[in-house]
Amino acid sequence: MKITTLNISSNVIKYVTTNGNGQVKHGSITPDGLINNGLILQPDAIASQIKTMFADNALPKNKVICSINGLPFSYRLFTLPKMEPAAFDEAIIRVIRKEMPISPDEMYLLWQAYPTENKEWQVLVAGITRQPVDNLVKTLSAAGIKPYFLDLQHLSLARLSGESDAIIVECEKDYSNIVMLVEGIPQALHIVPSLGAEAAVKDEIRQVVSRLNKMVNFYNNNHPKNPIKEDSKVLLTGELANEDGVVELVQKEVDYTVELLSPADKVVSGMPLHDFAVNAGSILMKTAPEKEAGKDATPHRSINLARVARQLQSINISSISNAVIVGSIAAFAGVVALVFGFLSLNQVREDLALAQGQLVKANAEYSTITSTLAASQAVQDNIDEVKAQIHLINADYESILNSTDHVADIAAVTQSVPDDLVFTDLEITSDQIFVYGRTYEPATVVQFARNLELIGDFSKADIQRIDWANSTSGPSLSFMIVINK
């Protein structure tokens, strides 16, 4: 199958095309500063450059997989029991409504499930804000290219490695990317912005290595029973990895063996791999139908740009003027900052953990010095805390007593219960209901959540968790649903 991959960044657009028989063609153009933070600022101008590039190099236009470096995204990892594909997809949406920092309705979502023990999937879900994807589709359409799929750089890099335990580091001139693989599952995805065009290569690499070490320390501290294996490798790729002395520099700063990424798949041969690593990984992207038959098929969902294009056409995106698009950039910049803020939550947790450790040490020293005063103050603090809790309980209690809806709420929950599912506990506050229960089939939890919104007429029912219970008799799955009145 002929596939063309585009890797778009602020300073270069790289292409690789393959005829499906191992023969590849590669090259690049410079976008002249028309792309920033993953957002194509001038779709028509970039489209003109891409159209010329495709024409000059006779590149096929029908199946073009795209990636954008520095694209703002947020991601989560969680575990779900195996279930039918339709129920599984709905369960993911209901779980990430609680887990994701931004509403799923404001993002394009992709996910990939990985098999684990106990009939469960570990699911990686990533959400990408809509504006940069919409601008990409507009750019491709203006260039006469039929949109195909959007690839996430970290997942592209993960496909290149034959190692199940590795840290892949792509060092680029605008954004560097790190993906940590543990037992074949991407456990951490990081973006490291460049220090700037004037920064020395050594400074850029040291910044990336610093982030890598903090990421490793954070993961190991939070997974003491399953840390990164000592024989794991740090695999380097990207344009900066070609620079003299980079491998040696990284090796001095990390505790793992460092070497250049060398994929075994022959489909990516015949080109300078490290300059086109993301393109090479995109060639290996699974583009088969997302909803495969069977309960045990590996669930996945890609960002189908053709589907996005149809959605945009339905709202007449072609009628939106360039002035409106440019005017929306300021608003989008705020969203980018927000998404990077949440993405940074994943990246700076290591720093937070380190700071918390220092805080604990400082608190211990302070406690020794002020032990006498602390004892009396602790008593007073406990009294104040108890008073505050009593006040909150009374407020909630009065709110429920003054409401005539709680009986109707309980009735609505009861009427929504599907067969073979029981709820074991119910907590009601003034604006939420927490339902705990058990069932034999995970799909019934999804049905219960759906019934609560349809039959019970609640505004939203989110699945907080679905876990296999340690039970020798009765339903083997426990669950928790949070209902908004």
Name residues whose C-beta falls within 8 Å of residue 444's C-beta, 6 or more positions apart in sequence.
418, 419, 420, 421
Query: Which amino acid is present at 478?
Result: S
How big is the chain by its Cα radius of gyration, in Å?
A: 26
Q: Are residues 418 and 394 in the same domain?
A: no
Q: Under DSSP, is residue 462 helix (H, G, I), strand (E, B) or coil?
A: strand
The answer to whether the CB of 191 falls within 8 A of the CB of 336 is no
Domain end: 246, 262, 278, which one?
Answer: 262
Q: Are residues 111 and 258 in the same domain?
A: no
Q: Are residues 194 and 251 in the same domain?
A: yes
Mind listing the pLDDT tens digit of every residue in the chain (485 residues)?
A: 789 999 999 889 999 998 766 678 999 999 876 788 788 988 999 999 999 999 999 999 989 999 999 888 889 999 999 888 888 889 998 888 887 777 778 889 999 999 887 788 999 999 998 989 999 999 999 999 988 999 999 999 999 988 899 999 999 999 999 999 999 999 999 999 998 888 899 999 999 999 999 999 999 999 998 899 999 999 999 999 999 999 999 999 999 999 999 886 656 677 898 999 999 999 888 876 555 545 567 888 999 998 898 888 876 544 444 444 444 444 444 444 444 444 444 444 444 444 444 544 444 454 444 454 555 566 566 666 666 665 565 555 455 444 445 777 888 888 888 888 887 888 888 788 999 988 888 889 999 999 898 888 888 999 988 888 765 556 678 888 999 88
**pLDDT computed for residue 472 by the predictor:** 55
477 CB neighbour count, 10 Å cutoff: 19
pTM over cut 0.95: no
Domain end: 232, 262, 292, which one?
Answer: 262
Q: How many domains does the chain have?
A: 4
Report the C-alpha gap between 58 and 47 in whole angstroms.
16
Domain end: 262, 286, 317, which one?
Answer: 262
Nearest to 77 by CA among 102, 103, 106, 111: 111
Report the C-alpha gap between 216 and 253 in whole angstroms.
12
User: CATH number of the domain that 290 lies in?
Assistant: 3.30.420.380
Q: Are residues 258 and 371 in the same domain?
A: no
Name residues whose C-beta falls within 8 Å of residue 151's C-beta, 6 or more positions apart in sequence.
5, 65, 66, 67, 278, 281, 282, 285, 302
Nearest to 285 by CA among 121, 152, 141: 152
**pLDDT computed for residue 265 by the predictor:** 65
- Name 234's bridge partners: 167, 258
**pLDDT computed for residue 230 by the predictor:** 92
Report the C-alpha gap between 445 and 437 in whole angstroms.
9
Two tokens, residue 181: 């693989």
DSSP state of 71: -
User: CATH number of the domain that 440 lies in?
Assistant: 3.30.1360.100
Q: Are residues 7 and 105 in the same domain?
A: yes
Q: Are residues 207 and 303 in the same domain?
A: no
Structural domain of 425: 406-484
Give the dihedral sign, CA 277/279/284/288.
positive
Q: Are residues 13 and 151 in the same domain?
A: yes
Q: Are residues 90 and 224 in the same domain?
A: no
Report the C-alpha gap between 327 and 337 in whole angstroms.
17
**pLDDT computed for residue 34 by the predictor:** 79
